[in-house]
Amino acid sequence: MNKGFILLAIFVSLGLLSLYTFTLLDPVDPSGKSSNVLVRIPPRSSTDQIAAMLEQQGMIRDDRAFRLYARFHNLDNRIQAGYYLLNASMSTEEILNILVRGKTASKNFTIPEGYTLKQITESLAAKGFIREPLFKDLLVNGQFNYAFLKDLPRGDRRLEGYLFPETYNIGLDSAEKDILNVMLAGMDRQIKEIQLEEKAKAMNLTLHQAVTIASMIEREARVDKDRTLISSVIHNRLKAGMMLQIDATVEYALGGHREKIYYKDLEVDSPYNTYKFNGLPPGPIASPGRESLLAAVNPAQTKYLYYVAKPDGSHAFSETLAEHNANKNKYLK
């Protein structure tokens, strides 16, 4: 047998082996009709363990080909733990790219503006995102590294107003503390972007007081144009030494929403009742959104001391008690 034939046979064999190896890297189901499968990569998993698991779940053709490809491309020590949505129509290269990038499966939740801690807890528990007892314990005792939390009073209302309301995208394996952290990070971002602490200080307010004012604006305002006007009423009343007399604080003191506030409700014995106690309540009464935070430190320049809700959800503002009574007669029927 001549050497040329032997070399040709070797090259053909290597070519066939290479073709076979690359075939093993192809999708298990090239039709593209497969459904997504949630796959968990545990922390500290080896490439061998991951490859065996992916083959068992029908995500790859061959665990050995997976391992060889990962090692050849220096990817075997870069796979990240987490939950991933994978599909049998993905090639080994595509799957490894997802695992190395840490493109984990996620879930969304939305915290509406004006929600209280109680409402946030109930909403997350109803979705199955949290274990309620653990979440409530973290609200009181959890350690979080944010400067704005340093001087907050302890207790079960410690984080009231500081879980920023918006839509969040989190990993499927996010624990209770992770969920709280992402909402606190949302608030931290707003405080810095708005320069809330600096603007509050310029108005002789602490950050906590500014957030408290913002929370009252959030619960009282129904239309955006009213936010800075309601803020002006709050600031004007504080300067005049008048009681704030804000219905939303009475609702909070009573423990929940009321369709109507009755005179007997105004007697509830709580430091949050601004009909009974002068000045600001001890802390926020809900989670304020960005516009309410801005309004708290940028009140409209008015002499308004009163407002009353109109049927369309907006408010009528007035400077005198006589004007206010006239507005009540006009709109509260």
Longest dimension (CA), the chain: 116
pLDDT at 20: 45
- What's the rounded Cα separation, in Å, for the pair 213 and 279? 11
Q: Which residues have C-beta within 8 Å of that of residue 152, sequence separation ≥ 6? A: 158, 159, 162, 208, 283
Q: Is 258 left (phi over 0), alpha (psi -120 to 50) or beta?
A: beta
- Whats the size of the chain, residue-wise? 333
- Which parts of the chain sit beneath pLDDT 70? 1-22, 259, 262, 333
The pLDDT tens digits of the residues spanning 282-300 come to 999 999 999 999 999 999 9
- What's the rounded Cα separation, in Å, for the pair 86 and 76? 18
Domains and CATH numbers, the chain: 24-104 (3.30.1490.480), 107-192 (no CATH), 204-331 (no CATH)
pLDDT at 3: 53
Report yes or no on whether pTM surpasses 0.75: yes
pLDDT at 317: 95
pLDDT at 262: 67
Cβ atoms of 255 and 249 within 8 Å: the answer is no
CB atoms closer than 10 angstroms to residue 6? 10
Beta bridge partners of 318: 306
- What's the rounded Cα separation, in Å, for the pair 63 and 20? 14
Cβ atoms of 179 and 130 within 8 Å: the answer is yes
The pLDDT tens digits of the residues spanning 52-94 come to 999 999 999 999 999 999 998 899 889 998 888 899 999 999 9
- What's the rounded Cα separation, in Å, for the pair 253 and 122? 18
Phi, psi of 79 (to 5 degrees): -70, 130
